[in-house]
Every structure is written in C-alpha cells, then in structure tokens.
Amino acid sequence: MTWRPALARSVVLRHDRVRGTDLLLLPERVVVLHGSAGGVLRLCDGSRAVGDIVAELGARFPGAPVADEVPEFLRTLRKEGWLR
C-alpha cells in the first residue's frame, strides 16, 4: 500500500497527562485512544507509507500482529475522515 497517512487538518493528537492516555481532538468531539493507538498515529506524519509503519512497529514489537491490525486500524480512521 503506497498511501502515506497523515492526520486530517482538523484533527490534533494530544497526550492527556491527567488521564494518562492519548486523545484525538476533533471539531466538537474528543476521542480517547486506547493501547498503542496513539503510538501508531504518531507515525502517521505523511512521510511513511503504511508498509513502512507496519515494518517499524513490527521491529519494535516482534510477534505482535501489526501486519494484520495496523492497516485495518488506519483504514477505519480514514473512513471516519480522521486521516488523509
């Protein structure tokens, strides 16, 4: 996949120190991210293709099912309009 995901212009990724979790700030909405979702989205800066993101996460987390889960996660966020 050659898509190079990046956050949509109206979306901001922030870490909430009070909650100890990452948040997506959208117009009139806040999405609380769980697990490693924030770490995945930090790699979505428009410079890496999905395959590069999967490879980097696979190297960081050997044995984790990133090749199956990460592309599907990114496609879902794209459908929501949170990634471009």
In the chain, where the domains are located: 12-80
Q: Which residue has the higher pLDDT, 1 or 39?
A: 39
pLDDT score at 73: 98
Name every residue whose Cβ is closer than 8 Å to that of residue 43 and which is 6 or more positions away in sequence. Answer: 53, 56, 57
Question: 31 has which bridge partners?
Answer: 24
Across 43-58, average pLDDT: 97
- pTM score of the predicted model: 0.92
CB–CB of 38/21 below 8 Å?
A: yes
Instruction: Supply angle C-alpha 40, 46, 48, rounded to 5.
Output: 65
Q: Assign a CATH topology to domain 12-80.
A: Arc Repressor Mutant, subunit A (1.10.10)
From CA 81, how far away is CA 28, in angstroms rounded? 14
Residue 1 confidence (pLDDT) above 90:
no
User: How far is it between the farthest Cα atoms of the chain?
Assistant: 38
* pLDDT band, very low/low/confident/very high, at 50 (cuts 50, 70, 90): very high
Is there a contact between 22 and 41 (Cβ–Cβ < 8 Å)?
yes
Amino acid at 11: V
